[in-house]
A and B are shown apart, each in its own frame.
Chain A
Amino acid sequence: MSEIDPITLSVLAGRMEQIADEMDATLFRAAFNPIIAEAHDASHGLYHAVSGDTLVQGKSGLPIFVGVMSFAVKAVIEKAAKDGDLQDGDIYIFNDAHIGGTHLSDMRLVRPYYHAGKLFCYLASVGHWHDVGGAVPGNYNPAATDVFQEAINLPPVKFARAGKVNQDIIDILMRNTRLPQSAMGDLNGQLGALDLGVKRMDELLDEYGGETITAALEALGHRAEALMRSELTELPDGRWEAEDYLDNDGINDEPLKIKIALEIKNDTMLLDFTGSAPQCAGPVNIALPTAVATAYVAIKHIFPTLPANAGVMRPIEVVVPEDSLLAAKFPAPTGGYTETILRMIDVVFSAFSQAAPERVVANAYGTINALSIAGKRKNGQPWVMFSFYGGGHGGSIETDGLNHGNAPISTATIPPMEILEAAYPVMFRTWALRPDSAGAGAHRGGLGAIYEIEVLEENGAEAFLFGERGSFAPKGIAGGGDAALNVFQYEQDDGWHSPPLTSKMRGINLKAGQAVRLQTPGGGGYGKADERSHAAIARDVARGLVGDVEADAVYGTNWREGTA
């Protein structure tokens, strides 16, 4: 392999990132379903021809995919080896979460890229489809006890052979979704993104030649590794532990432990999740690829300038115990994987904060709160309002946490209230910050939110919630306090109620004029509460972000002498 000069490498790094970015943009524009079009729940990249490792990945895709995509490509490489007839123009498709990670809603397309008759690398596209069958529209089924209740399961199969699409597979997929039009639109968008990737790679290889690009890809991996090692060298050696809990699995009301031991030694790091709870009955299990990818997401948040390249992971060992809910076996349900991986990120941050608190932020609100309200209109037309809700981010050495942010595994924005009210028969009585929801600290956490949603439809409606953090609060770091718990309530004729499994509930019947109220956690605090400036406390109280009595309780009463 030829050596590559650092200047050409700089230029090529930018060019290849732009290709992946452009594939992202192509799908976002074309996608029919708002989960991709608005929330950018999709990702694209280039992967190693032999190992399947991530070489380059788009910047605007969903953060969790940055780690998980290479597992999809590795699975296809294995399958292709078994098939033994891989050729230019082939495309594989699958959604099996036990093979490719995340959940069944994520449809993965993997395409070998050939240059001058030789396999050069893989291009891949993943996108969250709106519906892929199963018991619950949208596939967020809190009561699923296996994958068959969640969605159709498609293992890696050949979708196109030498450029010719296998219509049978399209027919099977379209028969197994409640929203075939949307699914077809997304599928076309993903194929378009792959086509574009091929075209751009052709142009790049024509310009620079395959050997230069190969050398560049190799060098980028080394560079990513060198960057990671240099970061780790600057950190103290040692071993730190942290643990936290999921409320329950949606079936049995028992907390589930997530535990980590984090070890840094010279330029290497170990993330060991031994001691985490065993596989469970409900859908908060995750597959092994998801667990490894999550470790990567946590690391990217701690070292935000590192490139999206597998080289970053070479100095890092991730240990996931065989029998735990972090390496669940087929056919365990994984639909609620988001909650579990958020908790994994929380414990990584908590452990890392003991090594270098300035490098991390305190825990964010830690649940996506998938709330759906559904019913039938007077004319019989069904409606489903499905959305995720926000909460506070953790405080950092620099500032208080962000109020009402999105989840660390996502960059999705929330739909405007007015768009929801125009589309569905609901009215938001409240869409506001939640006072006293943040963890105290020298830098307190950001605030969570209060959403109170009233049903306007005469026929009433039914509500479902898949959330977490109802029993275990987001934690502070470096001496900072914990945030408030997630609180979900719903209105009935005799007043407000709370569900038995705190933040998980299905089939709540609401009449017109009745509401649900979701109060989301804030973020944990950073640093000791008694280090917070009196002026900052007084300002929080004056702004109504913290109650005065509540402030006295966590900060003492001396702040009252300060001025707002």
Chain B
Amino acid sequence: MSSLMIGVDVGGTFTDIFVLNEAAGTARVAKVPTTRPDQSAGFLDGIKQEVSDFSQISVVVHGTTAGTNALLERKGAKTGVICTQGLRDVLEMRRRDRPRTWGLRGNFEPVVDRRNRLEVPERTLADGTVRTPVDLEAVRSAAQVLQTNGCESVAILFANSYANTANEEAAVALLREIWHNQHVSASSEILPEIREFERFSTTALNAYLQPEVSGYFARLENALKADGFEGEFMIVQSNGGVMAVDTACRLPVRTALSGPAAGVIAAAYIAQSAGFENVITGDMGGTSFDVSLISQGRSMLSPQTSIDFGMVVRNPMIEITTIGAGGGSIAWVDKGGLLNIGPQSAGSNPGPVAYGLGNTRPTVTDANVFLGRIDPDNPIGGELERLDIEAAGRAIDEHVGNPLGLTTVDAAEAILKVANSRMAGAIRLVSIERGFDPKNFAFMPFGGGGALHAGAMLAEVGIARAIVPRYPGVTSAMGCVIADMRQDFVQTINSSVDMLDEAALAAFMCAHIDQGLALLDAARTNFEARDLSFELDMAYVGQTHTVSVPLTVKTDGSTVTAVTRAEIETAFDATYKATYGRLLQNGVRRILNLRSAVTGKRPKFDLSTLAPPEGGRAEKVGMRKVHFGDTWYDTAIYDRLALPSGTKIVGPAILTQPDTTVLIEPHLQGRVDRFGNTIIEPQEE
């Protein structure tokens, strides 16, 4: 019987594999180098390390940065655009912004060359009236020009198509007949929402990714099948839900934050299982620190993101705040004598000075190495023999210690202090600044470096405790196995509440449910439950920032009992009051968009599968001098994965495992819970 569920997260440096054996109740993890340019080789190698018979696999779920990388590196397909007369430059004109506030430098090339942005006569007005029907002969000849120019994919971008899809539908129907492949994207299909730049950009980027990303997914699926895989292959979306691979091939733009989103999903589940509903996650990589907040077990969603300047993707995605303070971030003293961390980074190659691969400027990791916090003899990843402490110290002296008149140790502590303070700033941003009190949250570090800084986050931000998952280095891969299947839909309504056509709103909801459930039905995965949720983006007339108003909607299968205007008013007032504290007298309430989500809840695996084996040892495996504050401490080293549940380790201590170092500072203690997580908290008096 096939009972293996596999999560695969392909990152910049490593490909992480998480294998869950549902029948046996066991889980295994593997980490292999990411292969380039074709990531599928590493992907398959990683699975093969753990699984010999692919027919045993029921499902493979993939968190991928293939889409993000193709956008950042501008490696998508040659794409054509067919658009409304007079609007060929919307993609290039953006929303009239600039890359940086100060300096006025830099410019922007859209992913579609102006030569491949062709206009056709057609026009729909804002109220949905078709002023000029689409000229299909013009569409046909535009398509021929684009094909002659070598375009692999095409996007149809018509003004106000959110209000009436007729012109776009006619054009797309023709294009799907005559275009030489299936890569045809229409803006009203991808995002039927008002705001032409955001809709056009999302649609054009989708078209740009389609050939490349769907080709990658097809290669993976074929390779899996060639090795005997008969299960289902799914992809994680930016919203933290999974989708079937054929949906992903149609909507690759929805994978923009696939990998990081999976990590947050896993963090939420691990924390919830361990009894923490409110968590702030911190993923520390080589170049950045990514923070996300989970309140009452739910992660925050943001409506859009910019992959790079001018490359806007509008789709619900897990909100992740990034600052440029990772292990590879470079410490430097500016001309005014102030110590700074980043944004320049040595990344993972050449990496910190201690790697000995050519970088000579000190990084956050070099400070950790010099202070004894990282074991120089067993570098993470296993590719390097030994870390060069002396070189790290020299770089710290030259670039930080000497200019500031500090000893090497003090300079290294200073680097950590400034880095920690920047990381703490990011945590304040997602918590205090959004009205959440960090005291009510646990901090969950993951990624390779986060657990070295957990204690500092407790001290700086006033978080009560940190929870380090048992396998912090493979959290995203684990999240792939946990994530639910979810589809988001949007439809612009643009009506004041008193003018709302209740039946039309209900009809949009029905259509969303039909499409969403059809996708769930087509999946071969079992769902424990199916969830529908509906929100309206609403504001008072004249206001530009909307609030998301959740609606309670009675449904039976795919039939919907229409929500009344009165119910909508009540729901808006409640949300508005909760957000701004007071209502506006005589304000006219307006509905901008309907947002629907259809979720298939996948069965959750029991995290005690990961629990420490019976009979582990809570004995130290070594001692090392580690610097905290202003003193060197003789610090005990433990093999983290061998520690049995219930173990309590009093700081200072270091817990090691192949891909992570957990630091327990003096005055803190670490407790191993029944799932193998380490809870770091102040020592009991």
Distance in angstroms from A92 CB to nearest chain B CB is 25
Q: Which B-chain residue is minimally distant from A564 (CB atoms)?
A: B115
Size category of the A interface is 35 or more
Q: Give A183 to B114 CA distance when docked, in angstroms.
A: 43
* Residues of chain B lying within 8 A (CB to CB) of residue A176: none
Distance in angstroms from B124 CB to nearest chain A CB is 10
Q: Is there contact, CB below 8 Å, between A432 and B338?
A: no
Q: Is there contact, CB below 8 Å, between A416 and B194?
A: yes
Interface flags for B190-205 (1: CB within 8 Å of A; 0: not) read 0000111110000000
Binding-face segment, A143-151, A400-408, A483-491? A400-408
* Residues of chain A lying within 8 A (CB to CB) of residue B93: 390, 403-404, 431-433, 449
Q: Is B433 an interface residue (CB 8 A)?
A: yes
Q: Is there contact, CB below 8 Å, between A37 and B101?
A: no
Q: Give A63 to B197 CA distance when docked, in angstroms.
A: 25
Distance in angstroms from B406 CB to nearest chain A CB is 8
Binding-face segment, B379-387, B420-428, B526-534? B420-428
Q: Is there contact, CB below 8 Å, between A433 and B92?
A: yes
Given contacts A15-B425, A428-B86, contact A7 B107 (CB under 8 A): no
Q: Is there contact, CB below 8 Å, between A446 and B107?
A: yes
Q: Is A223 an interface residue (CB 8 A)?
A: yes
Binding-face segment, B241-249, B257-265, B540-548, B553-561? B540-548
Q: Is A6 an interface residue (CB 8 A)?
A: yes
Q: Is B113 an interface residue (CB 8 A)?
A: yes
Q: Is there contact, CB below 8 Å, between B543 and A402?
A: no
Q: Is B615 an interface residue (CB 8 A)?
A: no
Q: Is B89 an interface residue (CB 8 A)?
A: yes
Q: Is there contact, CB below 8 Å, between B92 and A34?
A: no
Binding-face segment, A25-33, A72-80, A329-337? A25-33
Which residues, 394 to 439 on A, are CB-close (under 8 Å) to B?
394, 396, 398-406, 408, 411-414, 416-419, 421-422, 427-433
Q: Is there contact, CB below 8 Å, between B545 and A406?
A: no
Interface flags for A178-204 (1: CB within 8 Å of B; 0: not) read 000110010000000000000000000
Q: Is B417 an interface residue (CB 8 A)?
A: yes
Distance in angstroms from A145 CB to nearest chain B CB is 32
Residue in contact with A300 in the complex, picked from B99, B102, B107, CB distance below 8 Å: B102
Interface flags for B336-356 (1: CB within 8 Å of A; 0: not) read 111110000000000000000
Which residues, 141 to 192 on A, are CB-close (under 8 Å) to B?
181-182, 185
Distance in angstroms from B172 CB to nearest chain A CB is 19
* Residues of chain B lying within 8 A (CB to CB) of residue A418: 126, 159-160, 162, 194-196
Q: Is A542 an interface residue (CB 8 A)?
A: yes
Q: Is A543 an interface residue (CB 8 A)?
A: yes
Binding-face segment, A117-125, A224-232, A238-246, A465-473? A224-232
Q: Give A400 to B584 CA distance when docked, in angstroms.
A: 48
Q: Give A34 to B95 CA distance when docked, in angstroms.
A: 15
Q: Give A544 to B119 CA distance when docked, in angstroms.
A: 13
Q: Is A528 an interface residue (CB 8 A)?
A: no
Q: Which B-chain residue is minimally distant from A17 (CB atoms)?
A: B425
Q: Is there contact, CB below 8 Å, between A416 and B95?
A: yes
Q: Which A-chain residue is minimally distant from B341 (CB atoms)?
A: A10
* Residues of chain A lying within 8 A (CB to CB) of residue B494: 422
Given contacts A404-B93, A405-B98, A421-B125, contact A182 B115 (CB under 8 A): no
Residue in contact with A427 in the complex, picked from B104, B114, B125, B196, CB distance below 8 Å: B125
Given contacts A18-B428, A301-B104, A422-B194, contact A393 B98 (CB under 8 A): yes
Q: Is there contact, CB below 8 Å, between A403 and B159?
A: no
Q: Is A9 an interface residue (CB 8 A)?
A: yes
Q: Which A-chain residue is minimally distant from B105 (CB atoms)?
A: A396
Q: Is there contact, CB below 8 Å, between A402 and B98?
A: yes
Given contacts A401-B107, A402-B98, contact A10 B543 (CB under 8 A): no
Task: Say what secondary structure dominates the interface of chain A.
Answer: mixed
Q: Is A376 an interface residue (CB 8 A)?
A: no
Which residues, 13 to 52 on A, are CB-close (under 8 Å) to B?
13-15, 18, 22, 25, 29-30, 32, 34, 37-38
Q: Is B36 an interface residue (CB 8 A)?
A: no
Residue in contact with A405 in the complex, picked from B97, B429, B543, CB distance below 8 Å: B97
Interface flags for B315-351 (1: CB within 8 Å of A; 0: not) read 0000000000000000000111111100000000000
Q: Give A205 to B99 CA distance when docked, in angstroms.
A: 35
* Residues of chain B lying within 8 A (CB to CB) of residue A30: 580
Q: Give A192 to B106 CA distance when docked, in angstroms.
A: 36
Q: Which B-chain residue is minimally distant from A231 (CB atoms)?
A: B335
* Residues of chain B lying within 8 A (CB to CB) of residue A431: 86-87, 89-90, 93
Q: Is A86 an interface residue (CB 8 A)?
A: no
Distance in angstroms from A283 CB to nearest chain B CB is 24
Q: Is there contact, CB below 8 Å, between B113 and A543?
A: yes
Q: Is A361 an interface residue (CB 8 A)?
A: yes
Distance in angstroms from B44 CB to nearest chain A CB is 41
Given contacts A301-B102, A543-B113, contact A34 B544 (CB under 8 A): yes
Distance in angstroms from B98 CB to nearest chain A CB is 5
* Residues of chain B lying within 8 A (CB to CB) of residue A63: 101-102
Distance in angstroms from B106 CB to nearest chain A CB is 7
Q: Give A421 to B123 CA distance when docked, in angstroms.
A: 12
Residue in contact with B104 in the complex, picked from A361, A390, A432, CB distance below 8 Å: A361
Q: Is there contact, CB below 8 Å, between A223 and B339?
A: no
Q: Is there contact, CB below 8 Å, between A32 and B543?
A: yes
Q: Give A421 to B162 CA distance when docked, in angstroms.
A: 13
Q: Is B605 an interface residue (CB 8 A)?
A: no
Q: Is there contact, CB below 8 Å, between B194 and A419?
A: yes
Q: Is B88 an interface residue (CB 8 A)?
A: yes
Q: Give A452 to B86 CA distance when docked, in angstroms.
A: 9
Q: Which A-chain residue is minimally distant from B460 (CB atoms)?
A: A11
Q: Is there contact, CB below 8 Å, between A403 and B126?
A: no
* Residues of chain A lying within 8 A (CB to CB) of residue B131: 427
Q: Is there contact, CB below 8 Å, between B336 and A304?
A: no
Q: Is A545 an interface residue (CB 8 A)?
A: yes
Q: Is there contact, CB below 8 Å, between A301 and B103?
A: yes
Q: Is there contact, CB below 8 Å, between A545 and B194?
A: no
Q: Give A361 to B542 CA distance when docked, in angstroms.
A: 38
* Residues of chain B lying within 8 A (CB to CB) of residue A32: 542-543
Q: Is B108 an interface residue (CB 8 A)?
A: yes
Q: Is there contact, CB below 8 Å, between A413 and B106?
A: no
* Residues of chain B lying within 8 A (CB to CB) of residue A34: 544
Q: Is B621 an interface residue (CB 8 A)?
A: no
Q: Is there contact, CB below 8 Å, between A421 and B107?
A: no
Q: Is B361 an interface residue (CB 8 A)?
A: no
Q: Is there contact, CB below 8 Å, between A414 and B95?
A: yes
Which residues, 655 to 669 on B, are CB-close (under 8 Å) to A?
none
Q: Which B-chain residue is minimally distant from A540 (CB atoms)?
A: B114
Interface flags for B426-438 (1: CB within 8 Å of A; 0: not) read 0011000100000
Q: Give A182 to B586 CA distance when docked, in angstroms.
A: 13
Distance in angstroms from B102 CB to nearest chain A CB is 4
Q: Give A224 to B338 CA distance when docked, in angstroms.
A: 10
Q: Is there contact, CB below 8 Å, between B115 and A227?
A: no
Q: Is A314 an interface residue (CB 8 A)?
A: no
* Residues of chain B lying within 8 A (CB to CB) of residue A7: 339, 414, 417-418
Distance in angstroms from A177 CB to nearest chain B CB is 14
Given contacts A59-B101, A227-B335, A301-B102, contact A413 B95 (CB under 8 A): yes
List 6 A–B pairs whose Cβ atoms lie within 8 Å, in order of A's numbering.
A18-B428, A181-B587, A393-B98, A405-B96, A405-B104, A413-B96
> Beyond the given A224-B336, A456-B125, could you list 18 further A-B residue pairs with CB under 8 A, ordered by the A residue number?
A7-B339, A10-B340, A18-B428, A18-B429, A63-B102, A231-B335, A304-B103, A393-B107, A396-B105, A399-B107, A402-B107, A404-B89, A418-B159, A418-B160, A418-B196, A419-B194, A422-B126, A452-B86
Residues of A participating in the B interface, judged by any CB pair closer than 8 Å: 6-7, 9-11, 13-15, 18, 22, 25, 29-30, 32, 34, 37-38, 59, 63, 181-182, 185, 222-224, 226-227, 230-231, 300-301, 304-305, 361, 364, 389-390, 393-394, 396, 398-406, 408, 411-414, 416-419, 421-422, 427-433, 446, 449, 452, 456, 542-545
Residues of B participating in the A interface, judged by any CB pair closer than 8 Å: 86-90, 92-108, 113-115, 123, 125-126, 131, 159-160, 162, 194-198, 334-340, 404, 414, 417-418, 421-422, 425, 428-429, 433, 494, 542-545, 580, 584, 587
List 7 A-B pairs, minimum CB-CB distance, nearest first. A223-B336, A304-B102, A304-B103, A390-B96, A414-B96, A543-B114, A421-B126
